[in-house]
Amino acid sequence: LLSMRFRRTRRDGEPPLIKGWIPFLGKALEFAKNAHGFLASYKKKHGDVFTVLIAGKYITFIMNPLLYPYVIKHGKQLDFHEFSDQVAPMTFGYPPVRSGKFPGMCEHIQKSFRLLQGENLDRLTESMMGNLMLVFQQDYLSGGSQWRTESMYQFCNSVMFEATFLTMYGKPAHTNRHSGMVTLREDLVKFDNMFPLLIARIPIFFLRGTKAIRDKLINYFHPKKMSSWSNTSGFIKERAALFEQYDCLGDIDKAAHHFAILWASVGNTVPATFWAMYYLVIHPEALAVVREEIHSVLRVSGIEADLNKDIFLTREQLDRLLYLESSINESLRLSSASMNIRVAQEDFSLRLERERSIKVRKGDIISLYPQSMHMDPEIYENPEVYKFDRYIEDGKEKTDFYKDGQRLKYYRMPFGSGSTKCPGRYFAMNEIKQFLSLLLLYFDMEVVEGQTACTQDPSRAGLGILLPATDVKIRYRLRRE
Ligand code: HEM
């Protein structure tokens, strides 16, 4: 049966088929090395829609962003959640939610995501501000104004990880900070290194030591332990209460669900924060404009940044930081490489334009790869160049981008699309803004000379924000304004 599956030939009405010469892996190795270049070269040869065999799956790539709406809007024949519902439980170690054993749980989990948005975002943002201040104050703001050196990724990771953790899960009973944060963070990095393999459904038992690390990470969220924490977000509280309603969900299963949210909330945010900071630090002219914008928003609100007091930016003030927002969006454009996946539920014809449709087989994956759009010179002039104000026009957010003379509905997609769009995107944007605001208000920063430009590690291609290939040494000191 297996060999028949890989002997597939192209049928009438189907897109061009590319298989590679290793039956199971197909084109997986080439894809993993340089997904963007790989897809661009096939696009040149086969046009804007083609099917590739990657790690045993037939994936049809829709490369033209003008066609994205036809896939994103598509109804019952394309399932948005099938892929993640299969892969996430295996990766994070909880029982499949859709198995029938947990009636209603899927819907409730989806509903819990509203607690990351709307009015609830005000509370989360307020709490994040306090937690960021706490970590900055205790770890970085004491000790005079002499120059100090740090590794930039390490710095972003240690601040954002702990502040996000405290905001999501709350603080321990008798102190403000959890013990064991450094170990937890390091264990998550080890787990994260194996993440691409787990998502490719390599059984965890083959990945040396990974199961033990995951067990340790999961145990951190044991319900008994969590019940003593306070200031927990409404989001996590509601999920914990939901899990209590299912007798067949064990304590470790509940903990595994909470662990999955830890990964979701920092796995992309930390590298996104790194790139946002990195591009600003290596573009001092952009950094100066963004810093002045933060000062001016505080000034308009009648607050001068007093570096001897806690700094507090409200959600409303964060919303007004347009240059900061544009600079973050620009770094997301350059660093995100997520793949949007839908699974065909039956053999059918997918309409792509008025006069055009393609035949799709049951079980095939339809995929959008927004990095190709983000790097398209027709949409973004000099796409490899960082332009911090690319998303601003006439003092307002710029939202019109074109291809073939037509305005694009989708032009920036680091957070996915349609019904699987990241529910944490507003919170993520706010926390990155808060982090950078504090950074720019408190510190002078520069990259230590003699380092080569930072490049991207491609191993997470398809899975989210790319990591830097190496860390970057910076010098920083307290500003004396
Ligand atoms: C899903 C990106 C931050 C929670 C996703 C997806 C993407 C994404 C692309 C969709 C995956 C798919 O298509 O199936 C990002 C990026 C972030 C970020 C780039 C930071 C810059 C966050 C934060 C949280 C979060 C801070 C939580 C506090 C989630 C959850 C899902 C998700 C729970 C799964 C949604 C579902 O199952 O429908 N994220 N994310 N994310 N994200 Fe984020």
CA of 166 to the centre of ligand 1 (A): 18
- 415: Cβ below 6 Å to ligand 1? yes
pLDDT for the residue numbered 1: 45
The answer to whether the Cα torsion of 193, 197, 198, 199 is positive or negative is positive
- 266: Cβ below 6 Å to ligand 1? no
- 84: Cβ below 6 Å to ligand 1? yes
Residue nearest atom 7 in ligand 1 by C-alpha distance: 415
CA of 46 to the centre of ligand 1 (A): 32
- 338: Cβ below 6 Å to ligand 1? yes
Contact call for residues 136 and 159 (beta carbons, < 8 A): yes
CA of 264 to the centre of ligand 1 (A): 6
CA of 258 to the centre of ligand 1 (A): 14
Distance CA 118, CA 131 (A): 20
Q: Ligand 1, residues 343, 422, 466: which to mutate, most atoms within 8 A of Cβ?
A: 422
Q: What are the backbone angles phi and psi of residue 398, rounded to the nearest 5°?
A: -90, 125
- 32: Cβ below 6 Å to ligand 1? no
The ligand 1 atom nearest the CA atom of 266 = 26
Count other C-beta atoms under 10 Å from residue 337's C-beta: 22
Of 415, 158, 427, 170, nearest to 318 by C-alpha is 427
CA of 323 to the centre of ligand 1 (A): 24
pLDDT for the residue numbered 79: 83
- 427: Cβ below 6 Å to ligand 1? yes
Distance CA 5, CA 8 (A): 6
What interhelical angle do 284-300 and 322-335 show, nearest 10?
140
Residues of the chain below pLDDT 50: 1-2
Contact call for residues 358 and 60 (beta carbons, < 8 A): yes
- Please state the three-class secondary structure of the chain as a single string: CHHHHHCCCCCCCCCCEECCCCCCCECHHHHHHCHHHHHHHHHHHHCCEEEEEECCEEEEEECCHHHHHHHHCCCCCEECCHHHHHHHHHHHCCCCHHHCCCCCHHHHHHHHHHHHCHHHHHHHHHHHHHHHHHHHHHHCCCCCCCCEEEEHHHHHHHHHHHHHHHHHHCECCCCCCCCCHHHHHHHHHHHHHHHHHHHCCCCHHHCCCHHHHHHHHHHCCCHHHHCCCECCCHHHHHHHHHHHCCCCCCHHHHHHHHHHHHHHHHCCHHHHHHHHHHHHHCCHHHHHHHHHHHHHHHHHCCCCCCCCCCCCCCHHHHHCCHHHHHHHHHHHHHHEEECEEEEECCCEEEEEECCEEEEECCCCEEEECHHHHHCCCCCCCCCCCCCCCCCEECCEECCCCEECCEECCCCCCCCCCHHHCCCCHHHHHHHHHHHHHHHHHHEEEEECCCCCCCCEEHHHCEEEECEECCCCEEEEEECCC
Backbone region of residue 261 per phi and psi (left: phi > 0; alpha: psi in -120 to 50; beta: other values) = alpha
Residue nearest atom 12 in ligand 1 by C-alpha distance: 420
How far is residue 325 from each of residues 130, 278, 389, 394, measured CA to CA in Å?
Answer: 21, 15, 9, 15
Distance CA 127, CA 170 (A): 10
pLDDT for the residue numbered 24: 62
The ligand 1 atom nearest the CA atom of 417 = 13
pLDDT for the residue numbered 25: 65
Residue nearest atom 39 in ligand 1 by C-alpha distance: 422
- 116: Cβ below 6 Å to ligand 1? yes
- 89: Cβ below 6 Å to ligand 1? no
Residue nearest atom 43 in ligand 1 by C-alpha distance: 422
CA-based angle 309:310:316, to the nearest 5? 130
The ligand 1 atom nearest the CA atom of 341 = 13
Residue nearest atom 15 in ligand 1 by C-alpha distance: 415
The ligand 1 atom nearest the CA atom of 427 = 26
Identity of the amino acid at 415: F
Distance CA 22, CA 8 (A): 14
- 255: Cβ below 6 Å to ligand 1? no
Which distant-in-sequence residues (6+ apart) come within 8 Å of 452 by Cβ? none
Tokens linked to 228: 């003593």
- 428: Cβ below 6 Å to ligand 1? yes
Residue nearest atom 14 in ligand 1 by C-alpha distance: 420
The ligand 1 atom nearest the CA atom of 80 = 14
Which distant-in-sequence residues (6+ apart) come within 8 Å of 4 by Cβ? none
- 268: Cβ below 6 Å to ligand 1? yes
Q: What digits encode the pLDDT tens for the residues 245-293? A: 999 999 999 999 999 999 999 999 999 999 999 999 999 999 999 999 9
Distance CA 62, CA 21 (A): 23
CA of 115 to the centre of ligand 1 (A): 14
ipTM, interface predicted TM-score of the complex: 0.98
Identity of the amino acid at 104: G
Of 153, 152, 209, 139, nearest to 181 by C-alpha is 139
CA of 112 to the centre of ligand 1 (A): 14
What's the alpha-carbon Rg for the chain, to the nearest Å? 23
Distance CA 168, CA 212 (A): 24
Contact call for residues 258 and 240 (beta carbons, < 8 A): yes
CA of 283 to the centre of ligand 1 (A): 28
The ligand 1 atom nearest the CA atom of 429 = 21
Residue nearest atom 38 in ligand 1 by C-alpha distance: 420
Beta partners for 437? Answer: none
pLDDT for the residue numbered 395: 94
pLDDT for the residue numbered 309: 80
CA of 414 to the centre of ligand 1 (A): 9
CA of 17 to the centre of ligand 1 (A): 31
